[in-house]
Amino acid sequence: MRIEAARRRRGPRDAEATRAAILDAARAEFAESGLGGGRIDAIADRAGCNKAMIYHYFGSKDALFSAVLEHNYVLIRAAEAGLNLARLAPEDAVRTFVEFSFDYVTANPEFIQLLNEENLHRGRHIDPDHARQLNSPVIGALAGVLARGAEQGLFRADADPQQLYITIASICYFPVSNRYTLSAIFDLPRDGEMLRQRRQQAIDVIFGYLRP
Amino acid sequence: MRIEAARRRRGPRDAEATRAAILDAARAEFAESGLGGGRIDAIADRAGCNKAMIYHYFGSKDALFSAVLEHNYVLIRAAEAGLNLARLAPEDAVRTFVEFSFDYVTANPEFIQLLNEENLHRGRHIDPDHARQLNSPVIGALAGVLARGAEQGLFRADADPQQLYITIASICYFPVSNRYTLSAIFDLPRDGEMLRQRRQQAIDVIFGYLRP
Amino acid sequence: MRIEAARRRRGPRDAEATRAAILDAARAEFAESGLGGGRIDAIADRAGCNKAMIYHYFGSKDALFSAVLEHNYVLIRAAEAGLNLARLAPEDAVRTFVEFSFDYVTANPEFIQLLNEENLHRGRHIDPDHARQLNSPVIGALAGVLARGAEQGLFRADADPQQLYITIASICYFPVSNRYTLSAIFDLPRDGEMLRQRRQQAIDVIFGYLRP
Amino acid sequence: MRIEAARRRRGPRDAEATRAAILDAARAEFAESGLGGGRIDAIADRAGCNKAMIYHYFGSKDALFSAVLEHNYVLIRAAEAGLNLARLAPEDAVRTFVEFSFDYVTANPEFIQLLNEENLHRGRHIDPDHARQLNSPVIGALAGVLARGAEQGLFRADADPQQLYITIASICYFPVSNRYTLSAIFDLPRDGEMLRQRRQQAIDVIFGYLRP
DNA sequence: CATGAATGAGAATTCATTCAT
DNA sequence: TATGAATGAATTCTCATTCAT
């Protein structure tokens, strides 16, 4: 039985494990059905606990969504930080970052679904102070890379790191988050091939733009 | 009273007007709250009719969402067709199309919210046959523009119209659909200025990529 | 198209035909789904007219049910009267009446479904004065038959015509009205054979009881 | 207040008691108004709980009806089994069974109302496998009684137990389930006397038929 | 820390009935 | 006589949340 299995995996009365299981279950549920459509019942089932636990640990559905969002922001920011762009040559750094951005959302489409949901709700579950703090490192790293690239004559000199970041995110995230409508509209190649093409296109577009 | 106002505006017992009012009201409601979060009650109020009318004309909430989606696809496609890219010089055509794409979603953010919602639901409200048929003209026009531009030595020769379309859509749509999380993350300039910058960035990126 | 067909069959603006079509449609609908479950919409569809006509001719759903009930009582009483039991020898008369009762409900199961529905509603759609008046002839005929049979030593002398009528109705109607639960409970022979057996059993039981 | 009374009677948070209360309430409500006409709200009120409990325990109105039906089948079968027909002399056994059948539905008219409703819906709430299994014992007992009676020269030899069972059910159940229309049609004696007469008639008819 | 029974407000959907034409 | 648009009150069912144990 699934509940028993979950229970066995983490042992009874293990607060931290229960919290984590709920967070995981909620991410999956909210990504699949949105905030309005996600069910507390379903989250409890997926987490192998009962509904009261969710209220015990998180207080409310909205608060749970906030926690999920923040948790998943922390995860991607940590992964970005691990890229260590500063130690790479400018062109390698840009390529690495674009590829990472593309690969991360391809591997974690739930992350963008959560972002979209949050935007539908006008960003009311996100704490700007915290979000901004989380984000600054990567923009800083990108700024350094662009400056070095411009200095070496590899990149155009007028590229803004923040704008570039948004452009990279757009090109990498949009085709994943909108894959169903795009598939309906276009006669797209089967999954793997379509991703390979989009990944290459992302790199081409960014480098095409950055050429001096 | 708002119901009275709506009634007066279109007069009673005009089936086509009622249908249209519901479609409009539903677009606003679904864009604001999603499919799961949108309320039939609220749609009826906004449309100045009663819930039963919605079921009379559309059958169910899901079917209403499908109708809204299709209707709004038709609208943007019609606007695109009105651009008449074929009669413009290649560079003008590309600029016109990018600017149009950006301006359309800026003016109609609800359209992308509907798209996001539809993607959350794995595209189950869209009829691929119909969607594909709606979309083909613009891809054809873009292919012509790219071919002419390459011939005249203005554009790189290897650009694929479908990939370019997706890239343009990504760059234009993503910042609008994700404006709330982006605002939370970045210290963005106030609305107008931020849009102006993104619009320019979209043009720069596309032209940067297309130069031979 | 079915509405067009119905329309053509009876021509437009033929009050009597419309009334009759509604009555027929309502019988079928109420028999199939009961009074609570029967839908005015469905009746209008079946009758090839619109709902407002039903209200025009019958005033309300309950009143329509009453009219259906009365109409179908009139039909069976008329058929019974046509048997002319008085001109038959006692045993032939009884056999004829039992067979008729059995065959009528077999051919018109909707009639008993209406009766059951009416009983569920405690008989509130039936006018006792009218019902009683409709029924007396057959009881009178049966009384005559029993008297003649007893006189001739064919039948027991203590049989009461009213009780016998109810017993015959019970044996003939119940297996038809309860055919679905009986089928679920028993491994009954396929339709035709099961009816043949029940028909014979009805005759056997009544004659078994009546023998002196 | 009635809810308080119910609450007090069974105490809160007793799942089994709540289930039973709902089953009881539903039997009354469905018998009174049918499946289509019975109201979930009314059942919750009668049971002294809220609507959500009904869905929690039974899932849907139809499933609740199925459960009620099955429960009431179990009850009558258990009562029949308690008759222990095998230990009685053939004539006593038949009389006991006829009287039991008559008395049971007289005391529990709701049971036949449920049966009628189920037949209106073409038996779709009944599981034939289960129903058949429930029913077999009584037919077996009746077969034994008929065999013994025929052996002892008390009964005709050609009586089929299944047919006889249906005939007994017909004679005993029909006048109860159709009491309202029968009352409208006939000038029946007041309740008690009418029942006494029908009970005697049932016995007379069955024994009349069974005499060799 | 954990359970599962219970709740009440609200959600979508239905339907008998009326009304303007 | 006939139509079909419109209504509002119900009705089934759902779900976030609380509570007793």
The answer to which of A156-165, B72-81, B132-141 has the lowest mean pLDDT is B132-141
For the cut 70, the answer to whether the pLDDT of residue A86 exceeds it is yes
Q: Are A110 and A75 in contact (CB under 8 A)?
A: no
Q: Are D199 and D102 in contact (CB under 8 A)?
A: yes
Location of structure tokens 């309202």: D180
Residue C6 — pLDDT band, cuts 50, 70, 90? very low
* pLDDT > 90: percent of chain B: 81
Q: What mean pLDDT do residues C128-155 have?
A: 91
* pLDDT > 70: percent of chain A: 93
Rounded-to-5 percentages of helix, strand, coil across chain A? 80, 0, 20
Q: Which residue of A has its CA nearest to B32?
A: A120
> pLDDT tens digits for C19-46?
999 999 999 999 999 999 999 999 999 9
Token pair for D124: 């779709």
State how far the Cα of D64 lies from the Cα of D67, in Å rounded to an integer.
5
**Strand F near-CB residues (< 7 Å), C 33-92:** 49-53, 56
* pLDDT > 70: percent of chain B: 93
* pLDDT > 90: percent of chain A: 80
Q: What mean pLDDT do residues A114-131 have?
A: 92
Residue D1 is predicted with a pLDDT of 34
CA–centroid distance for B196 within its chain = 19
Residue C154 — pLDDT band, cuts 50, 70, 90? very high
The CB density around residue A189, as the number of other CB atoms within 10 Å, is 11
Let me know if chains C and D touch, i.e. at least 3 Cβ pairs under 8 angstroms. Answer: yes
Residue D12 is predicted with a pLDDT of 59
Instruction: Name C77's Cβ contacts closer than 8 Å, sequence gap at least 6.
Output: C134, C135, C137, C138
The answer to whether strand F lies under 7 Å from the CB of residue C10 is: no
Question: Which 8-state DSSP code applies to residue D27?
Answer: H
- Longest pairwise C-alpha distance within chain B: 62
Residue A63: nearest nucleotide (C-alpha to C1'): F16
Closest C-alpha to D120, from B138, A132, C180, C132? C180
User: Are the beta carbons of B120 and A122 separated by less than 8 Å?
Assistant: no
For the cut 90, the answer to whether the pLDDT of residue D131 exceeds it is no
Residue D14 — pLDDT band, cuts 50, 70, 90? confident
CA contacts within 13 A on the Cβ side of C38: 25
Q: What mean pLDDT do residues B167-179 have?
A: 96
Location of structure tokens 């609220």: B42
Q: Are C94 and C204 in contact (CB under 8 A)?
A: no
Instruction: Enumerate residues 168 to 187 of chain D having a beta carbon within 8 A of any beta carbon in chain C.
Output: 169-171, 173-175, 177-187
C106 and chain D in contact, CB less than 8 A? no
User: Are the beta carbons of C35 and D37 separated by less than 8 Å?
Assistant: yes
> pLDDT tens digits for A41-51?
999 999 999 99
Instruction: Name C46's Cβ contacts closer than 8 Å, sequence gap at least 6.
Output: C24, C25, C28, C29
- CA dihedral B60→B63→B67→B69, nearest 10 degrees, is 120
For the cut 50, the answer to whether the pLDDT of residue C1 exceeds it is no
Residue A205 is predicted with a pLDDT of 98
For the cut 70, the answer to whether the pLDDT of residue A159 exceeds it is yes
Q: What mean pLDDT do residues B2-23 have?
A: 68
Closest C-alpha to C126, from C59, C61, C69, C64? C69
State how far the Cα of C2 lies from the Cα of C8, in Å rounded to an integer.
10
Token pair for B27: 């677009």
Closest C-alpha to A72, from A34, A104, A37? A104
State how far the Cα of A147 lies from the Cα of A160, in Å rounded to an integer.
10
State how far the Cα of B8 lies from the Cα of D25, in Å rounded to an integer.
49
Residue B2 is predicted with a pLDDT of 39
State how far the Cα of B202 lies from the Cα of B101, in Å rounded to an integer.
10
Residue A4 is predicted with a pLDDT of 43
> pLDDT tens digits for D27-63?
999 999 999 999 999 999 999 999 999 999 999 999 9
Q: Are C146 and C159 in contact (CB under 8 A)?
A: yes
Residue C37: nearest nucleotide (C-alpha to C1'): E15
User: Are the beta carbons of A34 and B34 separated by less than 8 Å?
Assistant: yes
Instruction: Name A127's Cβ contacts closer than 8 Å, sequence gap at least 6.
Output: A66, A70, B184
DSSP states along D140-156: HHHHHHHHHHHHTTSS-
State how far the Cα of A49 lies from the Cα of A18, in Å rounded to an integer.
8
Token pair for B190: 């106030």
Q: Are D138 and D104 in contact (CB under 8 A)?
A: no
Q: What mean pLDDT do residues A87-102 have?
A: 97
Residue A58 — pLDDT band, cuts 50, 70, 90? very high
Category of D92 on φ-ψ map: left (φ > 0), alpha (ψ -120 to 50) or beta: alpha
Q: How many residues does this entry show for chain D?
A: 212
Residue A95 is predicted with a pLDDT of 98
For the cut 90, the answer to whether the pLDDT of residue A3 exceeds it is no
CA distances from residue C139 to C81, C166, C192 in whole angstroms, order as listed: 11, 10, 30
Q: What mean pLDDT do residues B122-134 have?
A: 89
Residue C59: nearest nucleotide (C-alpha to C1'): E17
The CB density around residue A97, as the number of other CB atoms within 10 Å, is 23
CA distance A199 to chain B (A): 11
Residues of B in contact with A36 (CB under 8 A): 33-34, 36-37
- Name the residue closest to the C1' of F10 by its CA: D39
Location of structure tokens 């209360």: D21
Residue C78 is predicted with a pLDDT of 92
Q: What mean pLDDT do residues D120-132 have?
A: 90
Residue C13 is predicted with a pLDDT of 60
* pLDDT > 70: percent of chain D: 93
Neighbour-count burial of C210, counting CB atoms closer than 10 A to its CB (0-12 exposed, 13-18 middle, 19+ buried):
buried
State how far the Cα of D211 lies from the Cα of A76, in Å rounded to an integer.
91
* pLDDT > 90: percent of chain D: 81
pTM of the model: 0.90
Domains identified in chain A and CATH numbers: 1-59 (1.10.10.60), 61-210 (1.10.357.10)
Q: What mean pLDDT do residues D177-196 have?
A: 86
User: Are the beta carbons of C175 and D178 separated by less than 8 Å?
Assistant: no
State how far the Cα of B59 lies from the Cα of C166, in Å rounded to an integer.
48
Q: Which residue has the higher pLDDT, C132 or B84?
A: B84
For the cut 60, the answer to whether the pLDDT of residue B8 exceeds it is no
Q: Which residue of B has its CA nearest to A132?
A: B185
Q: What mean pLDDT do residues A82-100 have?
A: 96
Residues of B in contact with A127 (CB under 8 A): 184
Category of A48 on φ-ψ map: left (φ > 0), alpha (ψ -120 to 50) or beta: left
> Which range has highest mean pLDDT (B40-54, C7-21, D5-19)?
B40-54
**Strand F near-CB residues (< 7 Å), B 27-56:** 49-53, 56
CA distance B56 to chain A (A): 25
CA distances from residue A101 to A76, A81, A211, B156, D161 in whole angstroms, order as listed: 9, 12, 20, 26, 79
State how far the Cα of C114 lies from the Cα of C91, in Å rounded to an integer.
31
Instruction: Name D14's Cβ contacts closer than 8 Å, sequence gap at least 6.
Output: none
State how far the Cα of C76 lies from the Cα of C165, in Å rounded to an integer.
14
D126 and chain C in contact, CB less than 8 A? yes
Residues of C in contact with D196 (CB under 8 A): none
- CA dihedral D21→D24→D29→D31, nearest 10 degrees, is 170
Instruction: Name C26's Cβ contacts closer than 8 Å, sequence gap at least 6.
Output: C38, C43, C47, C54, C64, C65, C67, C68
CA–centroid distance for A205 within its chain = 21
Interatomic separation, CA of residue A53 and C1' of nucleotide E7, rounded (Å)? 18
For the cut 70, the answer to whether the pLDDT of residue A209 exceeds it is yes
Collapsing DSSP to helix, strand or coil, B159 comes out as coil
Average pLDDT, chain B: 91
Residue A154 — pLDDT band, cuts 50, 70, 90? very high
Token pair for C172: 């003939």
State how far the Cα of D175 lies from the Cα of D186, in Å rounded to an integer.
12
| Mutation for testing the B interface, residue in A77, A117, A185 having most B CBs under 10 Å | A185
Indicate the residue of A33, A116, A171 with minimum beta-carbon distance to B36: A33
Residue B133 is predicted with a pLDDT of 84
User: From the CA atom positions of chain D, what is the Rg in Å?
Assistant: 20
Residue C10 — pLDDT band, cuts 50, 70, 90? low
Average pLDDT, chain A: 91
Interatomic separation, CA of residue D41 and C1' of nucleotide F12, rounded (Å)? 9
Residue C132 is predicted with a pLDDT of 82
Residue B10 is predicted with a pLDDT of 53
Residue A19: nearest nucleotide (C-alpha to C1'): E1
- Longest pairwise C-alpha distance within chain C: 62
Start-to-end CA span in chain C (Å): 61
Residue C2 is predicted with a pLDDT of 41
Residue B14 — pLDDT band, cuts 50, 70, 90? confident
The answer to which of A198-212, B160-174, C127-141 has the lowest mean pLDDT is C127-141
Residue A32 — pLDDT band, cuts 50, 70, 90? very high
For the cut 90, the answer to whether the pLDDT of residue B124 exceeds it is yes
CA distances from residue A108 to A113, B18, B113, B129 in whole angstroms, order as listed: 9, 43, 21, 29
Residue A106 is predicted with a pLDDT of 95
Q: Compute φ and ψ for A14, nearest 5 degrees.
A: -110, 95
Instruction: Name B157's Cβ contacts closer than 8 Å, sequence gap at least 6.
Output: B150, B212
Q: Which residue of A has its CA nearest to B114?
A: A120
State how far the Cα of D112 lies from the Cα of D126, in Å rounded to an integer.
14
State how far the Cα of A129 lies from the Cα of B183, in Å rounded to an integer.
11
Nucleotides of E under 7 A from a protein CB: 1-21
D136 and chain C in contact, CB less than 8 A? no
Residue C88 is predicted with a pLDDT of 97
For the cut 50, the answer to whether the pLDDT of residue A7 exceeds it is no
> pLDDT tens digits for C73-88?
999 999 999 999 999 9
Neighbour-count burial of B51, counting CB atoms closer than 10 A to its CB (0-12 exposed, 13-18 middle, 19+ buried):
middle
Residues of D in contact with C208 (CB under 8 A): 156, 208-211
Q: What mean pLDDT do residues A81-92 have?
A: 95
The CB density around residue A186, as the number of other CB atoms within 10 Å, is 19
Q: Which residue has the higher pLDDT, A16 or A189?
A: A16
Q: Which residue of B has its CA nearest to A183?
A: B128
State how far the Cα of C19 lies from the Cα of C67, in Å rounded to an integer.
11
B129 and chain A in contact, CB less than 8 A? no
Question: Which 8-state DSSP code applies to residue B85?
Answer: G
Q: Which residue has the higher pLDDT, C207 or C12?
A: C207
